[in-house]
Amino acid sequence: MNLKKLLSMGIILSVTTSALVGCSSSKEDAGAKDDASNPLKVTLVSDLGGINDESFNQSAWEGLKKAKDELGVDVQVIESKQTADYVPNVESAVDEGSDLVIGVGFQMEAAIKDAAINYPDTKFAIIDFEYGDEQPENVNSIMFKAEEAAYLAGLIASQKSETGTVGFIGGTKVPIIETFEYGYLAGAEAGGSSKVLRQYADTYADASKGKAIANQMYSNNADVIFCAAGSTGLGAIESAKENNKMAIGVDKDQNALAPENVITSAMKRVDTAVLNTINDLVNNKFKGGEVSVFGLAEDAVGIAPTTSKNVDPEILKLVEEHAEKIKKGEIKVPKTEDEYKKFKQQ
């Protein structure tokens, strides 16, 4: 894998976007409409933070817009302002005749599952949650190996740190966010950081709280902070700007928010995953009852293309070497506390 490929990592899923949109459309048995004047309807129900969160929801929304432009589907978005909105928002999407309803984020798991049971003729997808043995037949779960992107981010953080102390801020302490936490810890340790400050904000939609936590970490000698907490992370990035410190973005390339401070981003190509899922629907290949998992090996996660702006070539070479070992299975990145303890013993 060359450096150029590493820096654009995550731009393509195992099936590239160009291949996806080049497929012929077959709408048989897909809940499809009969002609172009009455296209398939896809509704995206956002998590908290909305489609302008510069992170997870916005990336999903970008994928939905691509589907409209490239696949000719009818799209709409319903934004959730609070957790109580999830159920009525999903219900509204179904009532309005959606062929596919996409729930953004693990917090929507109950709303999507209940609707899938109550409306078996409607197709659903949920990002970042799988139901195990209770996976509904009309739900496709879209999962990412976020720990692999976080590992590379931790490696960069440790190499860029001048104090030997870096930080991690999570949204809520749940398994999907812990994959970021322990992947980042492993990468930071592999890169030589002696200390990682950690704290959970218990919210994904409070930039002021993210800023306050980051301010405290920076005052405690951290000089690089990675925040995996939706729009709460915007506050951490603002703190980095004000304190002339370094920050690491999440889910999408967040360098534009602070070009001199956001040194990299741990990316998940949610936009391409959404486009891929809608393309499957259009082509009667919707993966209901299945879990789709994407990582470095599928070029679905990785570091941001802008990383080379603030990270030296020798560090990028090290990151490339580690990424290749992850893809080959030579490095197994931890995603839980137990796995991290075993990683440290290696």
Task: Provide the pLDDT confidence category of residue 37 given band limits of 50, 70 and 90.
Answer: low
Contact between 141 and 302 under an 8 Å Cβ cutoff? The reply is: no
Does the pLDDT at position 176 exceed 50?
yes
Task: Provide the pLDDT confidence category of residue 36 given band limits of 50, 70 and 90.
Answer: low
Does the pLDDT at position 2 exceed 90?
no
List pLDDT tens digits, range 261-317: 999 999 998 998 999 999 999 999 999 999 999 899 888 899 999 999 999 999 999
List pLDDT tens digits, range 184-218: 999 999 998 779 999 999 999 899 999 999 999 99
Does the pLDDT at position 19 exceed 80?
no
Bigger pLDDT: 52 vs 307 = 307
Q: What is the mean pLDDT of residues 229-246?
A: 97
Which residues of the chain form beta strands (DSSP E)?
41-45, 74-78, 100-104, 123-127, 139-144, 165-170, 195-200, 224-228, 246-251, 262-268, 291-294, 301-303
Count helices and strands in the chain by DSSP H and E runs: 12, 12
Using N-to-C axis directions, what is the helix angle for 146-160 and 313-328, rounded to 10°?
Answer: 150
Percentage of the chain beyond pLDDT 90 is: 80
Structure tokens at 346: 């290696």
| This prediction's pTM | 0.80
Structure tokens at 89: 């928002």
Does the pLDDT at position 23 exceed 50?
no
Does the pLDDT at position 18 exceed 90?
no
Bigger pLDDT: 248 vs 297 = 248
Please name each of the domains of the chain with its CATH number: 9-144+269-298 (3.40.50.2300), 146-267+312-345 (3.40.50.2300)
Bigger pLDDT: 89 vs 31 = 89
List pLDDT tens digits, range 66-125: 999 999 999 999 999 999 999 999 999 999 999 999 999 999 999 999 999 999 999 999
According to the model, what pLDDT value does residue 17 have?
Answer: 38
Q: Give the whole-angstrom CA distance, residue 180 versus residue 170.
A: 8
Task: Provide the pLDDT confidence category of residue 38 given band limits of 50, 70 and 90.
Answer: confident
Does the pLDDT at position 30 exceed 60?
no
Q: Give the whole-angstrom CA distance, residue 99 versus residue 190.
A: 46
φ and ψ of 238, to 5 deg: -65, -40
Burial class of 172 by CB neighbour count within 10 A (0 to 12, 13 to 18, 19+): middle
According to the model, what pLDDT value does residue 238 have?
Answer: 98
Computed over every residue of the chain, the mean pLDDT equals: 90
